[in-house]
Amino acid sequence: MSRAKISDTASAEYLGDVALAANFDGLLASAQAAEHAFRQAQATGVVASVQYQLARDLDKALTDATHAAYAARRAEIGPRGYEDRIYRRKAMAKPAVHAWTDEAERLLTLRETHRLTGFPARPEVEAIGAQVARLPEASPA
């Protein structure tokens, strides 16, 4: 009994994921630089329109790094994992795959937290003079 041949589609997806995963370190460095720029702008009180653009840049950088981490996880599983669910499930138990899953989920959590709490008011809000509802500051208990 021979092993099933990997389809051209699975091979192409695998090679795409390997290429994206190879860029992970650069994408992570870009996300760190974008976060530094955004936090610096927040700390120095830069106008909201500039902070908004920096927040969008950070969101895009985190999204790209997250996609690369998930691609690295799929690449670590191998090309058979695209079509064989049993092979994929077994490969998911390997420590290297766990490490990529943890990294991808950490980046995903950072991105979602940033989306929920990190964006300043949109520049359009400033332009029309609209008020943005804000939660009252929490008083120390």
CB-based contact 41:54 (threshold 8 Å):
yes
pLDDT in the model for residue 128: 62
Alpha-carbon gap, residue 91 to 111, rounded angstroms: 27
CB-based contact 55:38 (threshold 8 Å):
yes
For the whole model, what pTM was predicted? 0.82
pLDDT in the model for residue 6: 85
pLDDT in the model for residue 48: 84
C-alpha angle 123-125-126 in degrees, rounded to nearest 5: 70
pLDDT in the model for residue 121: 73
Q: DSSP readout, 14-38?
A: HHHHHHHHHTHHHHHHHHHHHHHHH
32-64 burial by CB neighbour count: b if 16+ within 10 A, else e? eebbeebeebeeeeeebbebbebbebbbebbbb
Q: DSSP readout, 57-77?
A: HHHHHHHHHHHHHHHHHHHHH
Distances (CA, A) of 120 to 1, 33, 37, 49, 113: 60, 19, 14, 8, 13
Indicate the domain borders of the chain.
Answer: 9-121
Mean pLDDT of residues grouped by 10 in the chain (141 residues)? 77 94 97 96 89 94 97 95 92 95 96 89 65 63 57
